[in-house]
Amino acid sequence: MPPDQPFTRAQVRTAASRSVGPGGEWAVLTDHREWHHGPLDLPTEPAAWYQLAAGGGWRAAVADTSHPIAHDIVTARTQHLPGLTAGWCSLPFAVPVLCAPATGPGVAALQTAVKAASAEGLPLQRMVVALTATGEGRLPAAVKAAATMLQSQVSAVLTVPFDPHIRSHGMSQANRLSRRTAEAGSALVTAVLASAHRSWGDPLPPAATPAGLSTQSVPVQPAQPAPEGVLTS
């Protein structure tokens, strides 16, 4: 979408690919390029993605970002600048999902990020933690201990099991996920919605509609919650 021009809802809907996955059909905004290609030059401002989701008229949106949380928070504090993490947390009905590999170094980085978020006053009680297994077998003792400690600090802690199909094919064949993966996904969605309802009530009130949409577009209906995914590395 041209960043300097107004757009219509039809343009946004047309730009989205249709993908069959758990729960039915999903609208996916993707460049369809192979994983080895470099990242696109995309806007980093969280409000831009909220504007896009609202313009498309979706009732829920999942934004998959890749900025390291602890580094972002510390950099924003030292440079007196607004941080990306704080920007995502401030969006209407945003539920941050902190993701980390279920390994010793992974949970150590996650705990550092949680401490930084707590020191900055970010809404830990609204956040959901997803620990992703990197292989078959039991979780390391350090991961289990970290998950137990985090339970009292965030809204929920879940474990996503290892799925060799994702390792081989990514999410290009989402309808072929294993039963355990699908169950973990359902549990994650339930945890996100529960966090949103505890924070803003059930049913959720109408979300704010961003200004600046094209006057040629169909009137935008209030969007309902926009869960957010934040990856930690």
List of residues 6+ apart from 158 with CB closer than 8 A: 128, 129, 130, 131, 184, 187, 188, 191
Give the C-alpha separation, 7 to 129, whole Å.
35
Q: Which two tokens stand for residue 131?
A: 């620990």
Tokens 């956040």 belong to residue: 127
Confidence of residue 119 (pLDDT cuts 50, 70, 90): very high
In this predicted model, what pLDDT tens digit does every residue of 162-198 receive, in sequence order? 988 777 777 667 677 888 998 999 999 999 999 999 9
Closest CA to 130 of 220, 223, 230, 226: 230
Over residues 88-92, mean pLDDT: 93
Decide: pTM greater than 0.85.
no
Tokens 């957010």 belong to residue: 228
Residue 159's identity, in one-letter code, is: T
In this predicted model, what pLDDT tens digit does every residue of 29-53 receive, in sequence order? 888 777 678 777 788 889 888 988 8
Give the C-alpha separation, 84 to 60, whole Å.
20
**Choice between 18 and 128, residue whose per-residue pLDDT is larger:** 128
Q: Which residues pair with 99 in a beta bridge?
A: 130, 231
